[in-house]
Amino acid sequence: MKAHYFLVRDLLDNQLVDRDKRNLGKIDGIALHVAQGKQTRVTHLESGALILARRLGPRWERIAAFMTRHFGVRKNPVFRVPWSKVTKTGIDIHIDIDGVKSDAFAWEHWLDDHLIGRLPLAHEHIKED
Amino acid sequence: MKKFLQVALGVVTGIGGFLEVGSIATAAEAGASFKYALLWAIALGTICLIFLVEMTGRLAAISKHAVADAVRERLGFPFAVIPRTAEIIVNIMVIGAEIGGVCLALKFMTGIEVRVWAIPVTLLIWLTIWAGTLDFIEDATSILGLASIAFVVAAVKMHPDVHAALRGLVPSSPHQDAAHYWYIAVGILGATISPYMFHFYGSGAIEDKWGEDSLGANRITAVLGMSFGAVMSMAVLVCAALVLAPRSIEVARYEQAALVLIPALGRWGLPLFAATLGVCCFGAAMEVSLATAYMTAQTLGWNWGENKKPDKEARFAMTYVIMLLLGGTLLLTGIDPLKLTMLAMALTAVILPLIVLPFVLLLNDQTYVHEHTNGPIGNTVVIVTLVLASIVAIVTIPLEIMGGG
Amino acid sequence: MWGHTFESQKCRTEGLTPLLWGHTFDSTKNPNQRPDPRSARHMHCVDLMRRLWAIAIAFTLACSKQDDSEKLRKSIDSWSATLQLVADARLKNEVRKGFALKTIEAAVDDLERQTAKTTDDRATRLIGVAAKLRQAVEADDRASIAKARGELVR
């Protein structure tokens, strides 16, 4: 891994990929720890509609907050990945996490359980696994 | 052998996938109103499309990222959200128009109204995407779409004035109806340089696991496939120029466009027109639905893939289901598919600069394409396309008001 | 992240060192502070948009639009020729009855919509002939189809 990063160019908006090469979303935000007189540190990579909406403006953030509060299925509306979990960087950012068990897949599971999975042929073997 | 088949199928995809409800309507209207004078618009749009499609394939093969992916990563979400949102809105209209095209084809053959066919056609399109693989979708629509060769046969049979047609390849100013002329020209460019083609082509390249060894096949597919497709589109224009223009028939309704094959092909004329329209629009509806799902999934970082089972990427599957539902619902309102497609093409033209601009950046970024960056010709064409798209974007809405139906 | 500015300084995070280039940091700044709308760049963009709209409006005015009566005249010629073509094709059995009827229906629908805005005797006459053609096609009466086709030419 590189020693130096341009946070916006190299990390922000890049693809998060789990240990089994599944897509977990984009890096929508980067959490920094800022302390007076000390080095600023990247602590987490963040993903989620709330973070995205914040980047568009306060009105969009309020709408996203309302939607996630009343209709969200994740335990936490923001999916946070500690920097320590990053294993490889590049165009994609690889993290040492099982995506299927993480909160990033909450909507996938919910849609599969309640809608998509109930339609005929959703689990059929015509296609790849 | 495998490479040959890959190229052959790609070329066939270009033929079968080029025509759809918008391109048939605009080509027919162009030929009916201005004879051969707008052939240059199809040629110009195709040249731009060839370069952009080749770049899309190259980006996908080298970086394993499609355009929507790369745009978000390179230019950020606040930029990406604008063209993506606009494309979603336009694509709902396009899907409605394409479903309408299939319904029109069935109406021509059965006499049963468009609205009656809307739900069964939408369901059939959904089922094909849901249960089929990308190869099946591409192969089936491509091979069936070869019915569009009927336009070439008809055009040749009617002995067009070749010199006049060749003169039509040179841009010219109209003697009358300037607003209508430029309105159709813009419509042709909007129908030809369709953003959904880049998303579909690039994502398909990734699903087919293209690599650096696929760059040659990509180039051949882009050039030959799009060129053959353009020939089909030009054949529609020539047929309209020979059948509709001498009789002063304008294409106000699709029933009038459907007449273009009858003088040359007799009893086969209408069935072949309906078959071409139906198959091409069916394929286009699937392509646009999938393209929107690809684009959304890639922008937001979801799992995606037409070759994967729907339960494995539920959000991707949900996206194309919603798009089909919205497009089908639009048709149930009774809106004329022809008017819907003309509006969709005009709006496509408005957002085109935002679609083309990233190509200038991404295809010169070695992070994505390594040493396979654009050459001077490629960059020149993209910049010219960007300037053209910007001009088209400014004049489209006034032309829609002044020169439209 | 957005709305902050950072000083050029090295940041350390658990063995990795992300380096922030070209930014200055002030943690007291309001993270939601918006750029001054009166900045020179903003005014330049507004000015550019105004010029683009002026070009668009000038272009609109330069391309004159057909008036309704001219549009109706062209429509009458177009639908008259369309119905002739369809009548000929029906007589040769090149099109199905259903298609011929739908085309006649489309013609009448389009002409009636346009005559709601502008009246024209030719349009009224054409709608009448279209009705006769429709009856002839429904009845599969070839003689009547030919007669109605003849009336379209006049």
Nearest alpha-carbon partner for B130 in C113, C64, A118: A118
Instruction: Name which of C11, C25, C32 is nearest A42 (Cβ-Cβ).
Output: C11
Residue A23: strand, helix, or coil: strand
Residues C89, B107: C-beta atoms closer than 8 Å:
no
Does C13 lie at the interface with A, CB-CB under 8 angstroms?
Answer: yes
Nearest alpha-carbon partner for B285 in B130, B126, B104, B136: B126
Residues C11, A12: C-beta atoms closer than 8 Å:
no
Give the residue-averaged pLDDT of B369-397. Answer: 92
Contact (CB, 8 A) for B146 and B17: no
Minimum distance, in Å, between the CA of residue A36 and any CA atom of chain B: 30
Q: What is the pLDDT of residues A33-84, one digit of tens each?
A: 988 998 888 899 999 999 999 999 999 999 999 999 998 888 888 999 999 9
Q: How many CB pairs under 8 A join A and B?
A: 94
Does B322 lie at the interface with A, CB-CB under 8 angstroms?
Answer: no
Question: Can you name the CATH fold of A7-118?
Answer: SH3 type barrels. (2.30.30)
Which residues 88-127 in chain B show a CB within 8 A of chain A?
127
Residue A82: strand, helix, or coil: strand
- Amino acid in position B59: L
Contact (CB, 8 A) for B97 and C88: no
Residues A39, C12: C-beta atoms closer than 8 Å:
yes
Domain definitions of chain C by residue range: 1-33, 35-64, 68-153
Domains and CATH numbers, chain B: 11-403 (1.10.4160.10)
Which chain C residues are within 8 Å of B394, Cβ to Cβ?
A: 52, 55-56, 59
Domain definitions of chain A by residue range: 7-118
Evaluate if residue B271 carries a pLDDT over 90.
Answer: yes
Q: Which residue of A has its CA nearest to C20?
A: A6
Q: What is the pLDDT of residues B143-161, one digit of tens each?
A: 888 888 999 999 999 999 9
Residues C106, B253: C-beta atoms closer than 8 Å:
yes
Binding partners of C (≥3 Cβ pairs within 8 A): A, B
* B203, containing H or E segment: helix B195-207
Q: Which residue of A has its CA nearest to B133?
A: A127
Contact (CB, 8 A) for B353 and B368: no
Residues A108, B304: C-beta atoms closer than 8 Å:
no
Instruction: Name which of B110, B248, B398 is nearest C60 (Cβ-Cβ).
Output: B398
Residues C18, A36: C-beta atoms closer than 8 Å:
no
Instruction: Name which of B299, B311, B368 is nearest A112 (Cβ-Cβ).
Output: B311
Which chain B residues are within 8 Å of A116, Cβ to Cβ?
A: 310-311, 314, 317-318, 321
In B206-307 the beta strands, taken as DSSP E runs, fall at: none
Q: Which residue of A has its CA nearest to C13?
A: A41
Minimum distance, in Å, between the CA of residue C13 and any CA atom of chain A: 5
| Percent of chain B residues past pLDDT 70, beyond the cut | 95
Minimum distance, in Å, between the CA of residue C67 and any CA atom of chain B: 10
Q: What is the pLDDT of residues B108-136, one digit of tens each?
A: 999 999 999 999 999 999 999 998 888 88
Confidence of residue C60 (pLDDT cuts 50, 70, 90): low
Which residues 75-114 in chain C show a CB within 8 A of chain B?
75, 77-79, 81-82, 84-86, 89, 92-99, 101-103, 106, 110
Instruction: Name which of A7, A54, A55 is nearest C18 (Cβ-Cβ).
Output: A7
Which chain C residues are within 8 Å of A12, Cβ to Cβ?
A: 1
Nearest alpha-carbon partner for A28 in B85, B2, B299: B299
Q: Which residue of C has its CA nearest to B274?
A: C99
Minimum distance, in Å, between the CA of residue A37 and any CA atom of chain B: 31
Binding partners of B (≥3 Cβ pairs within 8 A): A, C
Which chain C residues are within 8 Å of A58, Cβ to Cβ?
A: 32
**Dihedral (CA of A52, A57, A58, A64) sign:** negative
Nearest alpha-carbon partner for B46 in B83, B67, B19: B19
Q: What is the pTM of this model?
A: 0.87
Evaluate if residue A103 carries a pLDDT over 70.
Answer: yes
Say what angle helices C97-115 and C121-138 make with each other, to 10 degrees: 160
Give the residue-averaged pLDDT of C49-60. Answer: 66
Binding partners of A (≥3 Cβ pairs within 8 A): B, C
Identify the pLDDT of residue C13. Answer: 33
Does A14 lie at the interface with B, CB-CB under 8 angstroms?
Answer: yes
Average pLDDT of every residue of chain B: 91
| Percent of chain C residues past pLDDT 90, beyond the cut | 47
Does B166 lie at the interface with C, CB-CB under 8 angstroms?
Answer: no
Residues A91, B367: C-beta atoms closer than 8 Å:
yes
Q: Which residue of C has its CA nearest to A58?
A: C32
Does C8 lie at the interface with B, CB-CB under 8 angstroms?
Answer: no
Which residues 89-118 in chain B show a CB within 8 A of chain C?
107-111
Listed in sequence order, the residues at least 6 apart from B65 whose beta carbon sits closer than 8 Å to its beta carbon are: A15, A91, B59, B73, B206, B298, B368
Identify the pLDDT of residue C17. Answer: 34
Residues A32, C19: C-beta atoms closer than 8 Å:
no
How far apart, in whole angstroms, are the C-alpha atoms of residue B316 and residue A71? 19
Which chain B residues are within 8 Å of C79, Cβ to Cβ?
A: 252
Evaluate if residue C150 carries a pLDDT over 50.
Answer: yes
Does A121 lie at the interface with B, CB-CB under 8 angstroms?
Answer: yes
Nearest alpha-carbon partner for B24 in B245, B333, B324, B337: B337
Minimum distance, in Å, between the CA of residue B88 and any CA atom of chain A: 18
In eight-state DSSP terms, residue B394 is H
Identify the pLDDT of residue B12. Answer: 63
Does A126 lie at the interface with B, CB-CB under 8 angstroms?
Answer: yes
Q: How far lies B189's CA from each of A93, B40, B43, C109, in Å?
A: 38, 10, 9, 30
Average pLDDT of every residue of chain A: 88
Phi and psi at A95, nearest 5°, equal: -130, 150
Residues B403, C101: C-beta atoms closer than 8 Å:
no
Which chain C residues are within 8 Å of B270, Cβ to Cβ?
A: 89, 94-96, 99
Give the residue-averaged pLDDT of C113-121. Answer: 85
End-to-end CA distance of chain A: 31
Which segment of A28-32, B108-112, B290-294, C51-55 scores lowest on mean pLDDT? Answer: C51-55
Beta bridge partners of A99: none
Identify the pLDDT of residue B342. Answer: 86
Which chain A residues are within 8 Å of B366, Cβ to Cβ?
A: none
Residues A122, B303: C-beta atoms closer than 8 Å:
no
Which chain C residues are within 8 Å of A95, Cβ to Cβ?
A: none
Evaluate if residue B310 carries a pLDDT over 80.
Answer: no
Q: Which residue of B has its CA nearest to A17?
A: B301
Nearest alpha-carbon partner for A107 in A25, A20, A12, A51: A25
Confidence of residue C57 (pLDDT cuts 50, 70, 90): low
Q: What is the pLDDT of residues C1-37, one digit of tens each?
A: 333 333 333 333 333 333 332 233 333 344 455 555 5
